[in-house]
Amino acid sequence: MARLAVNPTRMELRRLKTRLATATRGHKLLKDKSDEMIRRFMELVRLNKSLREEIEGEVSDALRSFMLARAVSSSEDIEQVLSMPKVEVKLETYSKNIMGVDVPDMRVTMPPAEDLLPYAFAGTPSDLDSAVIKISKLTERLLRLAEVEKTCNMLADEIEKNRRRVNALEYVMIPRLNETIKYILMKLDENERGNLTRLMKVKSMMNDQQL
């Protein structure tokens, strides 16, 4: 591992030891954060899988009801009765923080079930009523699924960024700091030995002169 280009002085040694302590502490915090993010991510992945499986089954059921309605009514009649929606859905969007990541938080307000049908019952097949009610009831859960999937994607991106930071500290920065500190300590020891040798030589010369 290549060391940093620094002067082998005691001041530089103190500075690098401080950097090493900070880098080591930062590495531990990032690693702990990464572990917790992965745990939360896996919980959301399981929730996403469960929601998707449930919703796909219910959507298929609603589509079957639409197909049965089309079997007894023309497409034009169905499009006509559904062309003028009767109700409005209120959607509020917020954000919440998960491990430092701002993820979407959506809240929907649905009208009462009895207000969902935008047409009179006369002249329309019961399967169409059933299909409209099923799809309308799925709206809130479809938005919840979209929210969870988006959160999973955002957490996955952040986990990857955090992993790169952890690896940069673990395999690049911390080893370089350790190697540089080792180099400076070696140089300082060499200087100490050199100074000690010179002092001993000077002392020997002074003793010889006194004799």
Question: 107-149 pLDDT, tens per residue?
Answer: 887 766 555 565 555 556 667 767 777 777 788 888 899 999 9
Buried b (16+ CB within 10 A) or exposed e, 99-123: bebebeeeeeeeeeeeebbebeeee
A 10 A CB-CB count for 13 gives: 19
A 10 A CB-CB count for 49 gives: 11
The two tokens of residue 19 are 């950097």
Per-residue pLDDT tens over the stretch 145-169: 999 999 999 999 999 999 999 999 9
Place of tokens 């920065």: 173
| 136 touches 104 (CB < 8 A) | no
Model pTM score = 0.73
111: DSSP letter: P
Domains along the chain with CATH numbers: 10-202 (1.10.287.3240)
Per-residue pLDDT tens over the stretch 112-121: 655 556 555 5
For 42-68, what is the mean pLDDT? 87
Q: Looking at residue 2, what is its pLDDT? A: 75
